[in-house]
Structure 1
Amino acid sequence: MKQVSRSALVAMALLAASAGSFAAGPSKAKSAIDEPDIVIGGGGSSGAMSLGTPRSMSVVAAPVTTASAQVWNVETRDVNLANTFQRWAASAGWKVRWDAAKHVMLEAPDSFTGSFEDAVAAQLSSPGIAMSGYPLEVCFYPNTPPLARITRKGDQLKECK
């Protein structure tokens, strides 16, 4: 059996994922890229490649496009996290409502990669916030424009699941 390099397998998976999403048209559901068919170096020391759950796909010739993930920067000039989230929201088409009684002051720059929701959730789950005496949480509402509401952890139990 002929061996195929890892980069070739990744390229084939991306091509297949692009073709599948191109044929299906735009969708708000998770794309094939969100759940890769191929996982390289799945945590084992052998560096072996493992295949995920197969999905049915038809191969259609389509232009190869790679979606680059957005980088969200925490800047000390924002002074506090509420201002950082407001800045991020403006570029992502979201609104932010800071309903926490306290603010998180910024001491150092940082960056997160992914969607707006991923970046906000990652920032709030960082140890400095999540393990503080005043942990915060975010609830995303599908309003128009969508809303990210920040509160003290536990304040949104009824509204946000």
Structure 2
Amino acid sequence: MNVKRVLVLSMLALAACGGDKKKEAEDAAATKQVSPDEYRKKQQAFADSVINAASSSKAVVEKLGKGYEVGGVRMRDTVSTLAAKTTCFQNGRNADPYLAGTVSFFAHMNVTGSDVIYVQESKWTSQAGNIVDACLNEASRQWKLDGTFGAPNAYIVQVQFK
């Protein structure tokens, strides 16, 4: 009697496994070659989704708590220009040609101007963004903003790279 049960259960198990061929066909379809234009469009859509999902400057300030403010347009534009003048983003693009992301910079202002600027938070499409962050932190040590950019305080400004 036990042998019959084992045979019946074995046959039921084999019958249940008949769907494996469909999975193989689905896997083959999923690995279909994609044209370079289609791939580029997918990567651009992914980059847009990452940039849109990044925390806004205001959200970063709220997360950090009291003592932080969103930097003004002039400060943001200046930091953006300084960041663009570096080769940091290009270095990241050498590792990942489709690299894109958002960087929130911290800028501490005193009465004479900025005394420190660095990457507070970033969100990138790939790990190549870490190369950019490290390079921007190194370059930002040389950046100085005068006292007209803001009252003594800690500011957050956001720059997008695409």
> TM over 0.5: same fold?
no
Greater relative contact order (CA < 8 Å, ≥ 6 in sequence): 2
- TM-score of Structure 1 vs Structure 2, range by shorter chain: under 0.3
More helix by share: 2
TM-score, reference length from structure 2: 0.22
Larger gyration radius, structure 1 or structure 2: 2
Q: TM-score, normalising length from structure 1?
A: 0.22
